[in-house]
Amino acid sequence: MPKKLWKKGRGKLGPFDPLLGRWVAEAHSPMGPLRCIRTLEPILAGQYLRLTARWEFGGPGGKAYEEIAVIGAGGGSDVRFWSFTNDGKRSEGTLADVTDLHPEAIGFVAQMPAGTARMAYFPDPDGGYIWVAEARTKKGWSRLAHHHYHAAPTG
């Protein structure tokens, strides 16, 4: 068994402990250069997590896409997320087994207007983490995005 890269915490939200903090990724997109800043932090006495994400396309002065999501137990024992974006869209998903991507991966599956999608986070051996988004197709999962996040500079 390979050595674990992430130390997960206790409780329902403990698996998200390695993702807490402020992270940044830079990538290429169909809209040009992309910079995404993600922050994951506990809220409401640690009963929930808040994710804020800002996607900046095309460099300084380009288009921005923002998301706020809340992660927590959803009326039962299942962990869910509720996401809201600056284009007026909303999505909701449930924690799912995404270990086909990586043995330590954690992620969600959601029903979106365009169909079923999933997002997952897993450790990068070189530091930080990988985030992917995929759409369900007849042949399986089709990769929509793949970003490498590293700790954002402080200050």
Fold exhibited by the domain 14-151:
Lipocalin (2.40.128)
The set of long-range contacts for 16-21, using a CB threshold of 8 Å and a minimum separation of 24, is: 16/40, 16/49, 16/71, 16/106, 18/123, 18/129, 19/106, 19/121, 19/129, 20/49, 21/151, 21/152
At residue 1 the predicted structure's pLDDT band, cuts being 50, 70 and 90, is low
pTM: predicted TM-score of the whole model, two decimal places: 0.90
For 2-57, how does the pLDDT look when each residue is reduced to its tens digit (9 = 90+)? 678 888 888 899 999 999 999 999 988 777 788 999 999 999 999 999 999 999 98
| Contact in structure between 5 and 131 (CB atoms under 8 Å) | no
Average pLDDT on 57-62 reads 77
Please state which of the ranges 55-69, 92-106, 119-133 shows the lowest mean pLDDT.
Answer: 55-69
Return the domain boundaries, the chain.
14-151
Q: How confident is the model at residue 153, as a pLDDT?
A: 84
| Contact in structure between 119 and 101 (CB atoms under 8 Å) | no
